[in-house]
Amino acid sequence: MTQSPKLIAGRAVVVTTKASSIKPQIGALLEQLKASHKLLFDFAYLEEIFPIADPDPDKFRLLVHQLIHSQLAIVDLSVTADSYYLMGVRHALTNSPTLMLAPNSNASKIANSRFTETEHKYFDVSNPNWMDGLEEALKYVGNPQLAEYQSDLRATRAFKVAALEPPFKDSRLHPKAWQLNASGNTAFKTAGPKIVIWEYQIQNASDFDVWVNSENTYMEMARFWDRSVSAQIRKLGAVRRGSLGDDHYKDALGLALAEKVGTRSQVPIGKVFMTRTDPASSLRGKNKVSHVAHVAAVTPNKIGDGFSSGGEIDHCVRSVFKAIRDERRKLSGRGLRSVLFPLIGSGDGGAHPAFVGHQMVISLGHLIAEHLSNSGDDSILEKISTIGLIAYQPSHLDFLRRELANNDFVEVPLGSGDDA
């Protein structure tokens, strides 16, 4: 299997030309970054990627890969229109820092009118103090998961999933699994928990010990008749009561969550409450789910109704595993070895599924690598054998598989113990 270029921590990509009019400013910037951030640089020269006579598709694919995954991108706006296009690609597909170098105030205004965002910084290199504010612009370099995700229509358009794209026809566990390549070379030595993908509806999934419920910061589950994952989990966790044919339920899961939340009116992003499922519920009997991990992942909109993604995907994922570990220890180490995640905040939260999938796979890769290097007993992935991700549509499956391949995960057989 062909592997994507291996990502190196502290690597940045510089998009420019060999005859750039602002080479001295770029050189000064790189010297500053080498001294302050110990970064390594990959130079993407546009005349090599977009030659007039013979464009190089392989170099272009590599550049897009670097734009998505590099901890920092530096885009020279003094060259061609291609630099504006590539700046848009970087901006749409990642929230890691991007520095735009404009040769004059007019170019800087153009950049701002097209792509202004709080985590991006534009520098007019004709200003003698143009490097002021550099550290503020680079505050997320080295730990990009800490950058809060902001819902962005440009990201939605870039990852456009056709509105008429049908979901999967049937629910099933995808026949492949993925494990981290722990060897660091082509002689694969996979290790750590397996990642599996559940296709289509969550209500048909079985044999995951824990389901994750991506919830709002009020910790109020969606109503039974809503179409969200929260609503489906709540209804499955309820217990039918009354005579046959009655449509009345004891809201067992909603009540259990309310008891855990107590008098809190709102909780911070990343807060997790673990609730046990009622033995008489379909969630326990049919789906074999013993616990639900409710994680606060979306926030109420400041203007108008509804919710928006609260970002901090890495924080949410880590918090879920910490809560599962703590709950397992209360149970004297029994069970809770497999967990099923939705794409956190991508439903009513409005975050695009592809962007969330990208962040979740990166987070899982880091967690598994930390787990494998942890010789003590304090890994938050202790005893976890299987991690499931939900793909509702074929495009979701495609980008999850791509993200796993791009982040050093290797396809492995499911194995008899992993059939969910």
pLDDT at 83 (0 to 100): 84
First to last CA, the chain: 26
pLDDT at 420 (0 to 100): 43
Q: Residue 8 carries which DSSP code?
A: -
Which residue ranges of the chain lie beneath pLDDT 70? 1-10, 52-53, 94-95, 105-121, 139-165, 183-189, 242-248, 301-310, 333, 348-350, 375-377, 416-420
pLDDT at 161 (0 to 100): 41
Angle at 356 between CA 355 and CA 360, to 5 degrees: 120
CATH number of 11-142: 3.40.50.2300
Measured CA to CA, the distance from residue 420 to residue 416 in angstroms comes to: 10
Token pair, residue 58, equals 């392989």
Partner residues linked to 179 by β-bridges = 410
Residue with tokens 């809560």: 323
Which residues, 6+ apart, have CB-to-CB distance to 72 below 8 Å?
Answer: 12, 13, 33, 37, 39, 96, 97, 98, 99, 138, 141
Distance, C-alpha 232 to centroid of its chain: 22
Alpha helices for 70-160 (secondary structure H): 81-93, 105-115, 134-137, 153-158
pLDDT at 3 (0 to 100): 38
CB count within 10 Å of CB 216 equals: 24
pLDDT at 10 (0 to 100): 61
Domain ranges in the chain are: 11-142, 172-418
pLDDT at 253 (0 to 100): 92
Three-state SS at 64:
helix
Q: With the CA atoms of 6, 11, 17 and 23 taken in that order, what torsion angle do they form, in degrees rounded to the nearest 10?
A: -160
Return the closest-CA partner of residue 389 out of 245, 144, 202: 202
Q: Is the pTM here over 0.75, yes or no?
A: no
Measured CA to CA, the distance from residue 82 to residue 102 in angstroms comes to: 14
Return the closest-CA partner of residue 209 out of 278, 293, 271: 293
pLDDT at 65 (0 to 100): 79
pLDDT at 112 (0 to 100): 55
Query: E strands within 141-259?
Result: 172-181, 190-199, 210-216, 239-241, 248-250
pLDDT at 419 (0 to 100): 41
- Tens of pLDDT along 212-225? 999 989 998 888 77
Fold assignment, 172-418? Leucine Aminopeptidase, subunit E; domain 1 (3.40.220)
pLDDT at 97 (0 to 100): 76
Residue with tokens 């616990």: 291
Measured CA to CA, the distance from residue 229 to residue 56 in angstroms comes to: 43
